[in-house]
A and B are shown apart, each in its own frame.
Chain A
Amino acid sequence: MDINRRDFLQIAMALGLIGTVGGGTNLFAGEAAKEKIKNLTFSDIVDFKAKGKATILHICDLHAHIKPLYWREPSTLISAKNLVGTPGFICGDSFMKHYNIKAGSLDQYFDTYNDFSELAKKFGKMGGIAHMKPIIDHVKKERGEKNVILLDSGDTWQGTAVALKTDGEAIVNAQNYLGVDVMVGHWEFTYGKERVMELIEKLDGKFISQNVLDNDPFSDTFEESVFEPYTIQEIGGAKIGIIGQSFPFTSTANPKRFTENWSFALRHESLQEHVDHLRKKEKVDCVVVLSHDGFSVDQELAKKVKGVDFILSGHTHDPSPEPIIVNDTVIIISGSHGKYIGRLDLDIKDKKVAGYNFKLIPVASNLIPADKAGEELIAKEYKPFDKELNEVLGTTKGLLYKRDTFYSTFDALIGQAIQEKMKSDIVFTPGYRWGTTVLPGGDILKDNVYEMTAITYPEVYTFDLKGQVIANLMEDIADNVFNANPLLQQGGDMSRLTGATYSIKIDAPSGKRISDFKIGGKPIDVKKTYRVSSWGGNLQSAGENLDKETPAVYEVVSDYIRKKKVIDIPLESNVKVLDYDCGCPAKGAKC
């Protein structure tokens, strides 16, 4: 299979982009080099070795980023020993080694955190619908409009101010503009059941899911699928059966009130029934599962379910330049935040998949001429909020980023802001994998704060928790993140703590991972009552003496930045990992 990454690498090498991985040196010294970067063109980006007649384009986890952004991949991505070093759990150097990525290349900039700030200056922002559209149009022109479908693995409607303030509508408009044909969901559900149904009405494409059941014993549809479980699309003369998998753990990851009486689970038995039905009764040529299960969960799912040709995965935000093959199922995942469009060409012969080719197309905004209609749509959607969102709250000395298993500078900033406002001993900030990146020396806009916090339940809760409960909670969360069984993970990172430090042994048994836990510099006292603030989770339900004041997290953070003017957050983590020596270990836990 030809990935066509080689072309990029050749270009990168031709540009003389030679440097040591992780080194802080300027890889692009000299005006001549700058001149050459400009020579990397749109046709280099979309270059692809076509196969067969049908094409599936795949996007996932846009998180409502209709404008281009900076998005830095994780600097720490640690999991249980059996998973570390495998796709889904590699980053930085281990990622570059696994996919043979050359230093200084566009791939390094898109796929890893290495030299991010340096490369950002050269390659610019990523994603944005006005830059995704020309890629989609290009493929449709090349292959014929009717031979291409655009599938969206969800986490599309939530993640920015413009999404929150229009209850998701701005993003549905963007999907219709891009031409999304089929989607599934996760954060979509946090707009509530009724709004989800309204937005599906507005969506030109279909919303499918086989694993969301009506669970209200008094309803007529008890134990029946809430959405159409699958759809059949004809492209390039082939019948493609597409089955939907929404996020199986929506009801534990997000507040239950949004999806009351809807039951979420993996439901691999009913998935198998749909696969068999599509093959035997509907006589499809190819079975695709459009999924928001997460990359590692889908690798497990492929072991349990037979007869699936492709799983188009989402949720865990992994850019995976090459597909993963489990038994006879090919699994792809297309990054996050609009950074990539996955192109999957299918060669269907004798009612079977005879061949395919796949590439992650990087949406390198500076190298793609923006589509005018897209720019106009963005301007229209942002216009009512421009004044508020363009406010410069302050500047940051260092890099503000989100992705890391335990700690990030932007989360530390959020935690500091909450701790100062609520005077709490300890602050819990959720380990979501969406957000934004602000470069060193950059302005922090109100829009950036929303990019980190734009949820429909932004309340910061402050309450009492006993030390023992805090300790138990941390173990519970650690077990969700580091479980050796991907089916018992929930795809997020550790909750971030402010006001506390701890050590963690990832491979210790459940309930025994965390040690040396200190709050305010002193060892945790299990009998003591601590004042705790948290947002974006369920912790307040375990607390007592709940503060009446529950300010919105984006306002707390904005006020804090306005007051401080210059933000200076250290890069060192407050968490010590005892059984790994680096943030991006390779297979066998090697650093």
Chain B
Amino acid sequence: MERRKFIQSMFAATAVAAIATPTTIFAEEAKKKTAKKGPNDMTFDEAVKAITEGKEVKDSDKIKLTVPEIAENGAVVPVKVEVDYPMTEKESVTAIHILNTANGNARCADVMLTPANDKAYFATRVKLSKTQEVVALVALSDGSFIKAGKSVKVTIGGCG
């Protein structure tokens, strides 16, 4: 079932393209934008802006993001986020946001944390429509943001 959706969404994204040129089938596709489909649809950049209110976000190796290189099943991709950061009254991680870069809605999960959580850790599963990046965007108590991203390949497979 999830494969069908994956294919359908791929098709929906390119259905308006005319007959492909002989040189590359994807020449037209690159120019097309995914049409908005739902009320919560938001691009990755829009979602980041909504969370950070336009503040600068730095890549950080304090975030350990664990995702598979190739998804076993695009409908349930395990994502683990651990942040190497103090969890004290003075300084702490206040939120972990998990985002994707190519689904209709870029926001997968928003988790609010307090020092009482003791550890900045969250694991879940997300749905990915196609090969794309999963990004962990982390809010810190000083009002700054850090992030880390990794690519996940979603494939129909076919080779043995």
Distance of A479 Cα from B4 Cα, bound (Å): 20
Q: Closest residue to B1 on the A side, CB-wise?
A: A541
Distance of A538 Cα from B22 Cα, bound (Å): 27
Instruction: Check if A469 is an interface residue, CB within 8 A of chain B.
Output: yes
Instruction: Check if A491 is an interface residue, CB within 8 A of chain B.
Output: yes
Among the stretches B65-73, B91-99, B109-117, the one at the interface with A is B65-73
Instruction: Check if B19 is an interface residue, CB within 8 A of chain A.
Output: yes
In terms of DSSP, what is the predominant structure of the interface of chain A? mixed
Instruction: Check if B85 is an interface residue, CB within 8 A of chain A.
Output: no
Q: Please state if B25 and A517 are interface contacts (CB–CB under 8 Å).
A: yes
Q: Would you give the 0/1 interface string for A453-473, flagging 1 where the beta carbon is closer than 8 Å to chain B?
A: 000000000000010110111
In terms of DSSP, what is the predominant structure of the interface of chain B? loop
Q: Would you give the 0/1 interface string for A476-514, flagging 1 where the beta carbon is closer than 8 Å to chain B?
A: 110111000001101111010000000000001001101
Among the stretches A111-119, A124-132, A252-260, A442-450, the one at the interface with B is A252-260
Return the contact of B26 from the options A264, A466, A487, A512 (Cβ within 8 A): A512
Instruction: Check if A525 is an interface residue, CB within 8 A of chain B.
Output: yes
| A468 CB contacts on chain B under 8 angstroms | 11, 14-15, 17, 25
15 sample A-B contacts, Cβ–Cβ < 8 Å, listed by A number: A252-B72, A252-B155, A265-B68, A430-B159, A472-B25, A473-B156, A480-B155, A514-B25, A515-B24, A526-B17, A526-B25, A538-B156, A538-B158, A541-B1, A541-B4
Q: Closest residue to B28 on the A side, CB-wise?
A: A526
| A469 CB contacts on chain B under 8 angstroms | 7, 10-11
B53-81: which have CB < 8 Å to A?
68-73
Instruction: Check if B50 is an interface residue, CB within 8 A of chain A.
Output: no
| A431 CB contacts on chain B under 8 angstroms | 158-160
Q: Would you give the 0/1 interface string for B4-31, flagging 1 where the beta carbon is closer than 8 Å to chain A?
A: 1001001100110111101111100100
| B26 CB contacts on chain A under 8 angstroms | 475, 511-512
Q: Closest residue to A513 on the B side, CB-wise?
A: B24
| B150 CB contacts on chain A under 8 angstroms | none
Instruction: Check if B3 is an interface residue, CB within 8 A of chain A.
Output: yes
Known: A515-B25, A537-B157. A488 touches B20 (CB 8 A): no
Instruction: Check if A71 is an interface residue, CB within 8 A of chain B.
Output: no
| B24 CB contacts on chain A under 8 angstroms | 508, 512, 515
| A266 CB contacts on chain B under 8 angstroms | 69
Instruction: Check if B153 is an interface residue, CB within 8 A of chain A.
Output: yes
Distance of A508 Cα from B15 Cα, bound (Å): 23
Q: Please state if B155 and A476 are interface contacts (CB–CB under 8 Å).
A: yes
Q: Please state if B69 and A537 are interface contacts (CB–CB under 8 Å).
A: no
Q: Please state if B159 and A481 are interface contacts (CB–CB under 8 Å).
A: yes
| A523 CB contacts on chain B under 8 angstroms | 19, 22
| B72 CB contacts on chain A under 8 angstroms | 251-252, 256, 263-265
Q: Please state if A187 and B25 are interface contacts (CB–CB under 8 Å).
A: no
Instruction: Check if A18 is an interface residue, CB within 8 A of chain B.
Output: no
Instruction: Check if A382 is an interface residue, CB within 8 A of chain B.
Output: no
Return the contact of B158 from the options A256, A430, A433, A525 (Cβ within 8 A): A430
